[in-house]
Structure 1
């Protein structure tokens, strides 16, 4: 009696899935070709929104930049997002300048922005002890407590101590903030929570990703209004 069998490799499965998704969602080239039309449609159907589109020759998978705030119920509230070719200081500066202008923050006096760039420390210096000491230093409320923790870091690894001091403690340590007339609100997990929400969207082509972000926000705002 003859026997028949079909052997399919994991590589073939991945290629088949990629091909099927391309048929359904479109290619990266197709999405970039539609961005101008998509941008105009966003402005037409979402009055009061801000949309900026600056494109150079070629295309890339892109990096997603997000600004996350807190609503009146102390829940995460995405304020703005952008897709850039690479995450660097120049693109963050462009993004934050647009945010400042859009929210009428003038020179930004009285506002504090926190980023999740502490991840760079984890990439340079591996080990849970660095993570623990960094957060102890960032949360220290007095100069004395801050120096005590930083001395521990220096004893553990002088390079890690130098790296943190070069980042200027005024930008990441409560003990170095100017708190006159300011209400401090330290949110460690907002960006992490938002990343969990959009983890699947970030894997999709640019327009589908942007649409899923927009629909997420529309649904969030609508449900808040119903609840209110």
Structure 2
């Protein structure tokens, strides 16, 4: 037992009993999901994809308690929601963003298309997001004045509540670095969406003659058809890294990988034949797989010299796709 001592203004133990009769409580009502949200909001601001296992370890170190997995999940979702906001609110602010973009950077393009959909519950007709294309005027002027006539295009999936696909186009600046040009947002990645995006890009850049340009992409079927239709005279080449991903599924090994890149980087017929012979010696199946692809689309020795865009082309494809993976 203890009480306050007025003389010393302290708490004094007056009677000690070494036998405890109280029961242990293993539950702490104060450790709730809102509490964890407030305490670990900055942690999720640095890493929104923090695994629940790691989150549990942080809580255990801080408070010597292990919350349930469902409580940790609620706290993580609430933290990310506070940081990023509601998806609906962000979509509603797109019109304001477009107006601010045109105001702060005159000459920029921002095309937002919506479609009318009937709500099954309320039977009301509402406008829903369909497609979006935007580009910055400063980036377009920099591309004309300093970039080479080569355009890399690719798309990646958006892993949010409403999904969708982000389409990107970049080029190479004089320092051999990635230079962004324009972006697009569509519901699905298809032939029609790629045709719309490539046509919007062509009109935005005021390109009439496509023959000096080189388009580089993966071998997505809809993209190949769109480039052939909208940019008929451009040199269309394929990313070797994407080709290797398909190649690696059937033919594994570091040596075969090096052989594939040696073939792609061959700058003359002699180097190409030597690289092909090396591939045939190591694996006849891999040799047949490589032989079926048109050499003009991915091997330096057979590139059309008119576009003059073969410098570091294969290396740039690796850099570009690494940039796309980071964006995902």
Same fold (TM over 0.5): yes
* Cα RMSD (Å): 3.4
Kindly report which structure 2 residues correspond to 1:77-226, keeping only aligned pairs within 5 A, or say none: 77-115=179-217, 117=239, 118-119=241-242, 121-123=244-246, 125-126=248-249, 127=252, 128-150=254-276, 152-153=278-279, 156=283, 158=285, 161-162=288-289, 165-166=292-293, 168-180=294-306, 182=308, 184-187=310-313, 188=315, 189-192=318-321, 194-195=323-324, 199=326, 202=327
Residue in 2 that maps onto 1:21: 80
- Contact 1:122-1:131 within 8 A present in 2 as well: no
Relative contact order (C-alpha < 8 Å, sep 6+): which is higher?
A: 1
Give the match for residue 208 of structure 1.
Answer: none
Change (3 A) 1:148 1:25: same
* Cα distance change, pair 88–136 in 1 and its aligned pair in 2 (3 A): farther
Aligned to 2:12: none
Tell whether the 8 Å contact from 1:153 to 1:161 is kept in structure 2 after alignment: no
Aligned residues: 198
Partner of 1:210: none
Measure how far apart 1:157 and its partner are.
Answer: 5.8
Task: State the TM-score, normalizing by the size of structure 2.
Answer: 0.49
Greater Cα shift, 181-190 or 65-74: 181-190
Q: Is 1:7 matched with 2:66?
A: yes
Q: How far apart are the structure 2 equivalents of 1:147 and 1:42?
A: 52
Distance between the aligned counterparts of 1:14 and 1:50, measured in 2? 40
Q: Distance in 2 between matches of 1:160 and 1:63?
A: 35
Q: Is the 8 A contact 1:68 1:80 kept in 2?
A: yes
The 1:62/1:164 distance shift into structure 2, 3 A limit, reads: farther
Which one has a bigger Cα radius of gyration? Answer: 2
Distance in 1, Cα, partners of 2:192 & 2:286: 26
Give the distance between the partners of 2:320 and 2:76, measured in 1 at CA. Answer: 30
TM-score of the two chains, using structure 1 as the length reference: 0.67
- Structure 1 SS opposite 2:211: coil
Structure 1 alignment gaps of length 5 or more: 204-228
- Cα 1:49–1:190 shift into 2, 3 Å: farther
Offset, 1:49? 1.1
Cα distance change, pair 181–76 in 1 and its aligned pair in 2 (3 A) = closer
Distance of aligned partners of 1:73 and 1:145 in 2 relative to their CA distance in 1, 3 Å threshold = closer
C-alpha separation between the residues in 1 aligned to 2:180 and 2:266? 28
The structure with more helix, counted as a fraction of residues: 1
Structure having the higher strand fraction is 2
Structure 2: give runs of 5+ residues left out of the alignment: 1-21, 28-64, 118-127, 130-161, 219-238
